[in-house]
């Protein structure tokens, strides 16, 4: 994407709104989980929306913000499980939070960019479904890479001490959250498509109208209409005399 074209006042304003949504939704999701409820993982919707509306770079930036908020919640103890993992592997926990979210946003933007040329709606669906798959896939891979730390966390609870690492990571940690994220993104993809089409239409229409108006100018009036006006003017002048 052209840097000058991306960093316009309009795009920056949209990006700022989406960044605020990412921060609020991820914090709210963490708070719900902290209170014992099932987190509604809505944060990937603004990430995908930005990736579709503004391109892969916006997806990467929004994904990075998502990962940064996740890491901050973990480091500060607001997210209890991430804090436990951070206590075991500080560097790799923060890296995992940033990499998985950033990759999810970048993958959504890249898939939409490649597929939307032939089918815009298919591009949006692919972007919406790819984000949770990439986010969860990298999370699972990262947990297996830190199997020692995960094992120590499992040993701290009687409920998880006897289960296998594969069951704990894939079913208990990733399973429910992935299904919720995937279902929400699948349901929201038509709305994302509609919003993105409106955004593109509003961004292109004024420029196109102005260029047509400037190209035509007053001298581009049809010859027939000018001649008719002249004839009508001559007739009125003759009647007055």
Q: What total of structural domains would you count in the chain?
A: 1
**CATH number of residue 131's parent domain:** 1.10.1760
Cα–Cα distance between 176 and 37 in angstroms, integer? Answer: 12
Decide if 25 is inside a domain: yes
Decide if 160 is inside a domain: yes
Decide if 241 is inside a domain: no
Decide if 230 is inside a domain: no
Q: What is the pLDDT of residue 180?
A: 85
Cα–Cα distance between 164 and 142 in angstroms, integer? Answer: 16
84-143: pLDDT as tens digits: 999 999 999 999 999 999 999 999 999 999 999 999 899 999 999 999 999 999 999 999
Share of the chain above pLDDT 70, in %: 78
Decide if 222 is inside a domain: no
- At a CB cut-off of 8 Å and minimum separation 6, what does 80 contact? 34
Helices (H), the chain: 3-6, 9-34, 44-54, 56-75, 80-88, 90-115, 120-145, 147-155, 165-166, 176-216, 223-240
12-40: pLDDT as tens digits: 898 999 999 999 999 998 888 776 555 66
pLDDT at 187 over 70: yes
Decide if 212 is inside a domain: yes
pLDDT at 235 over 60: no
Domain that holds residue 81: 3-216
Decide if 234 is inside a domain: no
Q: Give the pLDDT mean for 185-208.
A: 72
């Amino acid at each position: 994407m052209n840097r000058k074209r991306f960093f316009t006042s309009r795009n920056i304003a949209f990006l700022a709104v989406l960044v605020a949504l990412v921060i609020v939704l991820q914090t709210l999701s963490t708070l719900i989980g902290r209170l014992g409820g099932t987190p509604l993982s809505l944060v990937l919707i603004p990430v995908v929306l930005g990736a579709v509306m503004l391109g892969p770079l916006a997806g990467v930036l929004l994904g990075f913000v998502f990962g940064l908020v996740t890491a901050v919640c973990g480091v500060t103890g607001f997210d209890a499980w991430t804090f436990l993992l951070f206590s075991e592997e500080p560097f790799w926990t923060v890296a995992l939070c940033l990499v998985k979210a950033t990759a999810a946003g970048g993958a959504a933007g890249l898939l939409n960019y490649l597929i939307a040329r032939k089918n815009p709606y298919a591009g949006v669906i692919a972007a919406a479904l790819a984000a949770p798959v990439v986010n969860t896939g990298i999370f699972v891979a990262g947990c297996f890479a830190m199997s020692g730390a995960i094992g120590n966390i499992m040993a701290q609870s009687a409920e998880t001490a006897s289960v296998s690492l594969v069951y704990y990571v894939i079913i208990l940690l990733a399973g429910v959250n992935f299904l919720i994220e995937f279902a929400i993104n699948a349901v929201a993809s038509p709305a994302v498509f509609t919003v993105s089409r409106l955004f593109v239409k509003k961004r292109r229409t004024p420029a196109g109208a102005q260029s047509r108006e400037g190209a035509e100018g007053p001298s581009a009036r049809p010859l027939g209409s000018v001649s008719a006006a002249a004839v009508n003017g001559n007739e009125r002048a003759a009647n007055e005399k």
